[in-house]
A and B are shown apart, each in its own frame.
Chain A
């Protein structure tokens, strides 16, 4: 299937889900009104909606739905890139320890300064710290660098998970603990307009840069030695990829907490349709990931009277989908 055909299907689907996300929720707002509110500044429609509806759509839902789309894109692109360069289908953005590191950093930031820029900054710092830890463990060993890298990531992951548990113990159980726990399980309820100016552009730019390097990722997916022997500057490529993927993943975690599965299953689902060629896989995963994440966030808001954590929903969806993919393809979609 050509990329054009896939986009012809995916882009309208994304737009429809986006509008649904603005319309659905505890307080239902009909589609047409949502469109009116969105395009009012452009066309000056007659205001046939209540001010409170406008406030809900523009101030609450728009940032949240946009953040969901952007997060899904970032996680899926990073997942697809990692599965390619590490040549391992079980790899997801969490594998190199960055999600846990960023999660720990943000939780620490919340404890120290409350929600805000401090927590975000800590997410980035500890996201990169986790990456550097993983890299330095890998650097100290020889042999199969990729396998060591993944194992080192698992270890770093566990380390920061322990750190998170520690923070939960010392957090104030009346006030801080519930908010940290809910956020860590994945929630976009903290998303606000301020994320339009920093977090979202950061994730979008990082993802676009990774997508732009898609043919280089094809070359790297042959294996580091093979790519090197073809004259590819592998070191430079890996630094680039790890830097921007860490940036994107840390940014996602800093707002939405730790949401697993999306970065793992979206690339697999897309790969079954478009094949392994990253020229198609990365752009298609970006849009498909955005759609899936928006759908998950919508479900989180409407399934039950209380908001369900995103991580719970992704695990409930991800497990059967993953098993289905595994069984249906008899495991043949290994990268």
Chain B
């Protein structure tokens, strides 16, 4: 919590947040804070409460204890989006304006402009007339992020935005996240299974583990071989590589595989 002294205002502060499902503790005494424009990556094995944490912050789960404060305009982008609806991409993004419109109103000129801006920010304006059900998984993710942007959200809560994407789309998504944080000042929390993604874009990271344990801090300090061993029981090497003149930090898994002898 020493980071409260940093410049800028804290957009998100969480104090001693706990959450239990039935008898088991999922999240216990979690505290963190995030400045405007910062990106936080949420890591941890399956079933430790990454989605739960995002849902609590999004206001979708109520039965937690502890306190948190979060900016007014928060938008949550879920992990799996069941594709029941068959709207165009543009109409899908336009629905981001729903929170600003009354029960009997339809979107007006301003709403349409904001939706178009959001499409441009996400780089998917060419898709605007395509059907949501017909576009690829990566394009769907980008559409949902555009929808969150159209809502005017300052805080984006993204549940595994890179999980179903191919390598190119993962790159595009990570670039979009850092661009949103730098250019638009969006504060972003995203969950991921890839520590390299956290190392690539996030300022801060948090590990969630079994039994409610957690550890939060600056990304380079948090994402270490030691912590990944502790939280995932996986062997990795976190290493800085010089690629095309830039130093980038990666988390490389160390597989223990016996190869067949070559004949």
Contact = CB atoms under 8 A, between A and B. Distances in A.
Interface in B84-143: 84-87, 91, 95-96, 98-101, 103-107
Given A225-B78, A231-B151, A218 B87 contact: yes
A216 B91 CA distance: 13
Nearest to A224: B60
Contacts of A221: 84-85
A183 to B, nearest CB: 35
A174 interface: no
B98 A228 contact: no
Contact of B98 (A227, A236, A240, A275): A227
A334 B133 CA distance: 11
Interface string B169-180: 000000000000
B204 interface: no
Report, as a range, how many residues of chain A touch the other chain. 20 to 34
Interface residues of B, number: 29
Interface string A125-139: 000000000000000
B249 to A, nearest CB: 32
B155 to A, nearest CB: 11
B76 interface: yes
A215 B75 CA distance: 19
Contact of B103 (A216, A225, A227, A229): A216
A236 B103 contact: yes
Given A222-B85, A230-B96, A276-B85, A215 B105 contact: yes
A240 B151 contact: no
B58 interface: yes
B145 to A, nearest CB: 13
Contact of B91 (A236, A237, A277, A335): A277
A218 B95 contact: yes
B59 interface: yes
Interface in B64-79: 73-78
B5 interface: no
A219 B95 contact: yes
B76 to A, nearest CB: 4
B103 A213 contact: yes
Contact of B95 (A212, A222, A236, A237): A222
Contacts of A335: 84-86
Nearest to A334: B84
A226 interface: yes
A28 to B, nearest CB: 44
The 3 nearest A-B residue pairs measured at CB:
A231-B99, A219-B98, A229-B76
Given A87-B85, A219-B98, 13 more contacts: A212-B104, A216-B103, A219-B95, A221-B85, A222-B95, A226-B81, A229-B59, A229-B77, A230-B98, A231-B73, A232-B98, A232-B99, A276-B85
Interface of B: 58-60, 73-78, 81-82, 84-87, 91, 95-96, 98-101, 103-107, 147, 151
Interface of A: 87, 212-216, 218-219, 221-223, 225-232, 236-237, 240, 275-277, 279, 334-335
